[in-house]
Structure 1
Amino acid sequence: MAEAHQAVAFQFTVTPDGIDLRLSHEALKQICLSGLHSWKKKFIRFKNGILTGVFPASPSSWLIVVVGVVSSTYTKVDPSLGLIARINRSLDTVATGRLSCQTKKVVSSVLFGTGLWVALIITMRYSLKVLLSYHGWMFVEHGKLSRSTRIWMAMVKVFSGRKPMLYSFQTSLPRQPVPAVRDTISRYLESVRPLMKEEEFQRMTMLAQDFAANLGPKLQWYLKLKSWWATNYVSDWWEEYIYLRGRGPIMVNSNYYAMDLLFVKSTHIQAARAGNAIHAMLLYRRKVDREEIKPIRVLGSTVPLCSAQWERLFNTCRIPGEETDTIQHLKDSKHVVVYHRGRYFRVSLYHSGRLLRPRELEQQMQRILDDPSEPQPGEAKLAALTAGDRVPWAKCRQAYFRRGRNRQSLDAVEKAAFFVTLDETEQGYRKEDPVASMRSYAKSLLHGKCYDRWFDKSITFITFKNGKMGMNAEHSWADAPIVAHMWEFVMATDVFHLGYEEDGHCRGETNSSIPHPTRLQWDIPEECQAVIETSLNSANLLADDVDIHSFSFNAFGKGLIKKCRTSPDAFIQMALQLAHYKDMGKFCLTYEASMTRLFREGRTETVRSCTMESCSFVLAMADPTQTVEQRLRLFKLASEKHQQLYRLAMTGAGIDRHLFCLYVVSKYLAVDSPFLKEVLSEPWRLSTSQTPHQQVELFDLVNNPHYVSGGGGFGPVADDGYGVSYIIMGDNYIHFHISSKLSSPETDSHRFAKHLGEAMTDILNLFGLTPNSTK
């Protein structure tokens, strides 16, 4: 128990001779270093607050402006048009006789210079917001920017400052606009036209027109009012009603996963992989805290995207409630909680006022792996509460985790930087059995044993017995691109910067003075254990029903698709439409996630990928009488339509978020809309998403072609539908994740994957190209 003694800063004993005081110098040193660390973080936040507050100017520019104004007054030039003289007279009134004429002159100049500097900042910031409100550049044909667009880009760069920080652009981003009701209705009817029979479509048209003429304008007025008042008229309601108010399990239904580098094995030592990866995650967290991550910018690093979602990446947990959950976020957390073989351990991330080094973290993980203790009653499967329905978990938390040891231990979990699982299984791609190994790997990351991941944490980081790793992420606080950005940094830092010794251990030395991890103590009554078992049973039923086929499509990639002069995403989306028709013999409502982060606090929008144009193309592919030229023409029309819909979604002119918000307003007003009710009840039987590869510079795929990630995936949205995720890395690699439910007689993930491979090749053949062709 040496670590327990070190935790006490001083001890004293009362004796007949007085009080015998014994100080622990090591503990006092740790307290001092911890205090210095906290004050350092506060200072960095204060400094960053100033830098962000004056952006796009800089504090040094204040000195330049003030010196320029003061200097001009000595050359008998008045840049203030009399304002400095008026400030001077005011100082006469306020400080009569206390300031000399020369001092008043300087003070007046400094005050005017400061005001001028603030006015310039406000003008530049507003000008940048006006410039960023223009989205016409998105609708220009790729590679054909007009002169006016180039001038606009140059002006954006001028007003964007020299070295923007992570949150520098936040106040300059425009608000997300509210589309006109009739425009949204028109686009909606166009999107469902190929999916409905004539009578059904006519009925829906009547409902839509009635809504647009009567109830719609009233709901729109309230929505417009909200858009003027709130930062973003969609995001808070989206988070609340789509995520936090859901009462079903978030495991499989909401949480998603991310995979490791597939074909590279950095080390076979589980503790070492955990040590490097945890250290890399903490380095990334430090970059977020210091705002050192460059804001994501598109169009040749010109147009910034919103960075608000980075704020809750770490130190965040979803807290269950009976009616709605809440998100708990802390500014800082100095520990992680590690789960292994049914036990929970608290691991401090700092020692002697600094982050633990990779070898020291490996040492801590190995201590946990070597710990022979057994789980306490109810401890091993405790996390099943986070995998089941939300209401039992909320009631259980309120009844059994409000005080004592349970409260302290639960606090440790929920207030940790993130959750870590040292998994007892071996996972990852195996060349001898790629299908079964990838299915096992994906399902382990998505749900595991249903009790060995804390699904409420923003991030559950998982390392497996053979040294592979992965991650499970909760969805309410942010969207996948933010997690993907962090995960790219972690994988690249682990392999290319931190590295390993030849024997597989982390580089560096162990440190015996670091206190051992602390076992969390639980006192879980039998009534609570019964709820845990009930939640676990329902979670197991959900997990066992999920079928995932995760596979690498290596016949061709982005390089060959670009030779077809079409967008890789549009190409894949058309292949998905063709594959679904091959699989089901019919079309379905299709969801593709796009982002709206061109606007402040924007999140996502839906691209309805099944269109009249895509259906015409698919039917032409199924019709043997159609020529290659006809099919090719229809493909180009379909892909251009898809690109147009994607651009509309990104620029705030999508369909589904607007209709969703109108529906929320109708509920607040207690009015019924048959139209909105039908629209929001339509099932998405094909739900798709691309995992973006954002930091291409971190991976040299030309010289290291095997350093590719499997991206990530998610569960099926509809019971009788498919969930499809894909990542495009480099010119020759696309990885797909296809999920469905075994209980559905209509779906089969492996069958769909077969049809998808055929569809990809069929479309490529239209262009006279074959897989791996160089022509």
Structure 2
Amino acid sequence: MAEAHQAVAFQFTITPEGIDLQLSYQALNQIYLSGVRSWKKRVSRVRNSLIKGVYPASPSSWLFVAIGILATMYMQSDPSMGLITKIQQHLPLSLHMSLSAQGQTMVSALVFSTLLWLSLILALRFCLKLLLSYHQWMFEKHGRMSNTTKVWVPLVRLLSSRKPLLYSYQSSLPHLPVPAIQDTVSRYLESVRPLLTDPEFKRMSDLANEFESNLGNRLQRYLKLKALWATNYVSDWWEEYVYLRSRGPIMVNSNYYGMDFLYVTPTSVQAARAGNTITALLLYRRKVNREELKPSRVPGTVIPLCAAQCERMFNTTRTPGVETDVLQHWLDSEFVAVYHRGRYFRLWVYRAGRLLSPREIEDQIQRILDDASPPLPGEEKLGALTAGDRIPWAQMRKQYFSSGVNKRSLDIIERAAFFVTLDDEEQGMRGDDPEGNLDRYAKSLLHGKCYDRWFDKSFSVVIYKNGKSGLNAEHSWADAPTVAHLWEYTLATDAFQLGYTEDGHCKGDVEPSLPQPQRLVWNIPAEVQAQVSSSLAVAQALADDVDCHVFPFREFGKGRIKKCRVSPDAFIQISLQLAYYRDRGGFCLTYEASMTRLFREGRTETVRSCSNESCAFITALESGETEEECRRLFQLASERHQNLYRMAMTGAGIDRHLFCLYVVSKYLGVESPFLKEVLSEPWRLSTSQTPVQQMNLFDLKNHPDFISLGGGFGPVADDGYGVSYIIVGEDMVNFHVSSKYSCSQTDSHRFGVQISKAMQDIMALLSADPKTSLSSKGTGQPQSKKLQ
């Protein structure tokens, strides 16, 4: 009860002598310090709003403008061409009464200076927006920069030379353009040509032409109208209809995972790893709140990327609804939610306005680990509600979690900065079966036991018994690059900045009066427990069906690929096409995720990696064409892939445009056979590259063991593969392959073998070319490297 008494700031008792008032100065001091922290954050937000509101100018530039105007007037010149006099005539009567003529002139000059300053800011911002709308530089070949780009580069550098805050570029980013409908339809038909027979292609062409000439133009007009007033004509509908309106389980189907270092575990002490990891995440949140993170940029350039996805990274949860879910975000949270052995805890991470030290958080985590109390009835597997279908969870939440102790406990989980699971298992590449253990590690992060993660949270951190870590991220609020940025910072800060003592514990001191972590209290009736069992059965069947295979490809990496003057991503994507052809005996519709964060509130676009050129190369290679002919076709396929990727990045993709046209058709209540067929096509090969070294917090050359494993996701199609890959350093590519056991045609391990063989076969083909220099001279640097 000591903690409860400390929480009371004052007590009073009515006695015959009057009121006996007893103040707890310690508690009042805690309240005061917490208030100071809150006000500091408010002041910081106001300051940041001012700084980014005037970017690319600075607040101090107003002073220079004002001094310049006053100096010009002192020299008996009127730079305003009479505007200052007109402003003076319209000053309030009170100012005319209280100020001299010279004072009135001074005030009018300052008003004019402010208006001129704001006009200059708008002009600079408009110019920067125009410059950032220029994307032709992406399509220029290495070493062949056009004169336009040569002028454009220094102008962008000049207007973005001031040190920006995280969100400084947001108002200067261009809006995503709506492609011409004839261009989208033409590109779509080109993308499906290698997948269809001649009769099938003719039928699809007829559907497409009929759509383009009739209904398509009508839908396009509505879409252009939306693009005029919406910040991004795709993102809100994409979030709503692709993610939030999905009524099936988000576990496996939507959520994805990120892994720890491959070779290194900084400490084997579970509580210590949790202490440093939680601290690093909260330090990242502080940087986000203060906007101290540098804006992400196109690698090797000064071109900024949209940072809007960072806003809902912390203190966010996805709440279920009958028709659609809702993303709820709170401005701040001073605690995290922790799950261990079927019990839920609230762990306060701030004390009197200060962030607890890593050692203090470790101590608190250890208290949870040492707590031997059993779960309350129905508590242990409660998290299965977030893993099953959404409608039953929404109904249970509304009926049984809208009041009383259940609501209070659920609010704590949903309002927490993030969710932490202290897992009793050991994971990682270890023991006599490292490959099998990596696969089990991936499955554990993807779904766990189906009830020991809170899949609705923006992300859940998992700390294993042997100190290994990982996370599971909800997909609707952001895409993988944003979470990868967070996780890269967390791992690097944990290992290289916070560090551990010699015996594996966190550094720092411990305040002895810290209150115990708070057990959450539940009252779970039989009806909820029955639904928990039902949701768990659905989730368990889904989890048991997932076949995960993770393997590091160590034969070569991007260093050797670049020496062949080939884009690493194009090389890997064509290798995946070859692997699929050998695995399934044909080609399939292939999804590769590309970002559209060059535009405001941009998210992703699809690169349809299976092209006429890639199919021609694979057919030639498998039919025994000459090496010279195969190399020629490979070069065409690589260039085609690069062009498709650039088009997707610059707003000229296919699938988001067709998706939005389909949404408009549903709003209008009209049917389009063409759109219906396009959006029902299965992505049997869904791929994504995980970015690495976005922040350069440490050098992989000096610390080669600190290689990231990356992350992965579940299969998109029941009879397909999900492939995630991360290009680590110069000599390794890590692959994550997923499929379903229930499909007899797929096998993740078999496909992994095919990927490795395809990579080696293509490298052998390119290496045999006498014209290809394998020296360090021809590294095939992309054009972006020259735009620094």
Moved over 3 A (4+): 91-97
Does the CA contact (< 8 Å) of 1:211 and 1:673 recur in 2? yes
User: Matched residues in 2 for 1:258 and 1:427: separation?
Assistant: 13
Give the direction of change, closer, same or farther, for the CA distance of 1:431–1:558 in structure 2 (3 Å limit).
Answer: farther
1:694 shift after superposition: 4.1
Give aligned-pair identity as a percent.
64
Does the CA contact (< 8 Å) of 2:296 and 2:304 recur in 1? yes
The residue number in structure 2 matching 1:187 is 187
**3-state secondary structure, aligned to 1:178:** coil
1:358 shift after superposition: 0.4
Q: Is 1:53 matched up with 2:61? A: no
User: Matched residues in 2 for 1:81 and 1:696: separation?
Assistant: 50
User: Matched residues in 1 for 2:696 and 2:600: separation?
Assistant: 27
User: Matched residues in 2 for 1:528 and 1:59: separation?
Assistant: 56
The residue number in structure 1 matching 2:668 is 669
Matches within 5 A, 1:577-656: 577-624=577-624, 626-656=625-655
| 1:649-708 CA distance string (max 9 Å, x none) | 001010000000000000000000000000000000000000011425213111111111
User: Matched residues in 2 for 1:503 and 1:774: separation?
Assistant: 46
What is the one-letter code of the residue matched to 1:525?
P
1:144 shift after superposition: 3.1
Give the direction of change, closer, same or farther, for the CA distance of 1:409–1:209 in structure 2 (3 Å limit).
Answer: same
Does the CA contact (< 8 Å) of 1:699 and 1:707 recur in 2? no
What is the one-letter code of the residue matched to 1:313?
M
| 1:435-467 CA distance string (max 9 Å, x none) | 111011000000000000000000101100000
User: Matched residues in 2 for 1:166 and 1:405: separation?
Assistant: 39
Does the CA contact (< 8 Å) of 1:128 and 1:172 recur in 2? yes
The residue number in structure 2 matching 1:341 is 341
Give the direction of change, closer, same or farther, for the CA distance of 1:92–1:753 in structure 2 (3 Å limit).
Answer: closer
What is the one-letter code of the residue matched to 2:214?
N
User: Matched residues in 1 for 2:143 and 2:338: separation?
Assistant: 50
What is the one-letter code of the residue matched to 2:763?
L
The residue number in structure 1 matching 2:552 is 552
Does the CA contact (< 8 Å) of 1:724 and 1:737 recur in 2? yes
**3-state secondary structure, aligned to 2:90:** helix
**3-state secondary structure, aligned to 1:740:** strand
The residue number in structure 2 matching 1:477 is 477
1:300 shift after superposition: 3.6
The residue number in structure 1 matching 2:410 is 410
1:301 shift after superposition: 3.3
The residue number in structure 2 matching 1:98 is 98
Name the TM-score, length of structure 1 as normaliser. 0.98
1:147 shift after superposition: 3.2
Does the CA contact (< 8 Å) of 2:688 and 2:724 recur in 1? yes
The residue number in structure 2 matching 1:296 is 296
**3-state secondary structure, aligned to 1:34:** helix
The residue number in structure 2 matching 1:152 is 152
The residue number in structure 1 matching 2:32 is 32
The residue number in structure 1 matching 2:785 is none
| 1:461-505 CA distance string (max 9 Å, x none) | 110000000000000001010000010000000001000000000
The residue number in structure 2 matching 1:741 is 740
User: Matched residues in 2 for 1:153 and 1:94: separation?
Assistant: 51
Does the CA contact (< 8 Å) of 1:55 and 1:161 recur in 2? no
**3-state secondary structure, aligned to 1:767:** helix
Q: Which moved more, 1:75-84 or 1:36-45?
A: 75-84
1:296 shift after superposition: 1.1
**3-state secondary structure, aligned to 1:428:** coil
Structure 2: unaligned runs, 5 residues or longer = 777-788
Give the direction of change, closer, same or farther, for the CA distance of 1:93–1:2 in structure 2 (3 Å limit).
Answer: closer
What is the one-letter code of the residue matched to 2:2?
A
Give the direction of change, closer, same or farther, for the CA distance of 1:583–1:270 in structure 2 (3 Å limit).
Answer: same
User: Matched residues in 1 for 2:547 and 2:669: separation?
Assistant: 40
**3-state secondary structure, aligned to 1:14:** strand
Does the CA contact (< 8 Å) of 1:551 and 1:736 recur in 2? yes
User: Matched residues in 2 for 1:685 and 1:292: separation?
Assistant: 41
What is the one-letter code of the residue matched to 2:678?
V
What is the one-letter code of the residue matched to 2:766?
F
User: Matched residues in 1 for 2:235 and 2:361: separation?
Assistant: 38
Give the direction of change, closer, same or farther, for the CA distance of 1:91–1:11 in structure 2 (3 Å limit).
Answer: closer
Does the CA contact (< 8 Å) of 2:489 and 2:695 recur in 1? no
What is the one-letter code of the residue matched to 1:591?
Y
Matches within 5 A, 1:449-488: 449-488=449-488
Does the CA contact (< 8 Å) of 1:207 and 1:674 recur in 2? yes
Does the CA contact (< 8 Å) of 1:338 and 1:345 recur in 2? yes
Q: Which moved more, 1:450-459 or 1:137-146?
A: 137-146
**3-state secondary structure, aligned to 1:337:** strand
**3-state secondary structure, aligned to 1:304:** coil
User: Matched residues in 1 for 2:732 and 2:109: separation?
Assistant: 62
The residue number in structure 1 matching 2:698 is 699
Give the direction of change, closer, same or farther, for the CA distance of 1:348–1:98 in structure 2 (3 Å limit).
Answer: same
1:769 shift after superposition: 6.1
Matches within 5 A, 1:428-443: 428-430=428-430, 432-443=432-443
User: Matched residues in 2 for 1:684 and 1:143: separation?
Assistant: 36
The residue number in structure 2 matching 1:361 is 361
What is the one-letter code of the residue matched to 2:639?
E
User: Matched residues in 1 for 2:92 and 2:170: separation?
Assistant: 41
User: Matched residues in 2 for 1:460 and 1:192: separation?
Assistant: 39
The residue number in structure 1 matching 2:328 is 328
Does the CA contact (< 8 Å) of 1:419 and 1:461 recur in 2? yes
User: Matched residues in 1 for 2:658 and 2:694: separation?
Assistant: 34
1:93 shift after superposition: 6.1
Does the CA contact (< 8 Å) of 1:252 and 1:714 recur in 2? yes
1:85 shift after superposition: 2.1
The residue number in structure 2 matching 1:729 is 728
**3-state secondary structure, aligned to 1:640:** helix
| 1:283-331 CA distance string (max 9 Å, x none) | 0000000011111122643211111000000000000000000000011
What is the one-letter code of the residue matched to 2:329?
H
1:111 shift after superposition: 0.8
1:511 shift after superposition: 2.1
1:161 shift after superposition: 4.3
Q: Which moved more, 1:430-439 or 1:338-347?
A: 430-439
User: Matched residues in 2 for 1:170 and 1:735: separation?
Assistant: 33
**3-state secondary structure, aligned to 1:461:** strand
**3-state secondary structure, aligned to 1:293:** coil
Does the CA contact (< 8 Å) of 2:563 and 2:775 recur in 1? no
1:744 shift after superposition: 0.3
Q: Is 1:760 matched up with 2:753? A: no
| 1:492-521 CA distance string (max 9 Å, x none) | 000010000000000112221111100000
| 1:404-448 CA distance string (max 9 Å, x none) | 000000000000000000001000111632211101100000000
Cα-Cα RMSD: 1.2
User: Matched residues in 1 for 2:36 and 2:267: separation?
Assistant: 36
Q: Is 1:71 matched up with 2:71? A: yes
The residue number in structure 2 matching 1:528 is 528
The residue number in structure 2 matching 1:689 is 688
**3-state secondary structure, aligned to 1:550:** strand
**3-state secondary structure, aligned to 1:321:** coil
User: Matched residues in 2 for 1:509 and 1:101: separation?
Assistant: 64
1:18 shift after superposition: 2.0
1:88 shift after superposition: 2.4
The residue number in structure 2 matching 1:249 is 249
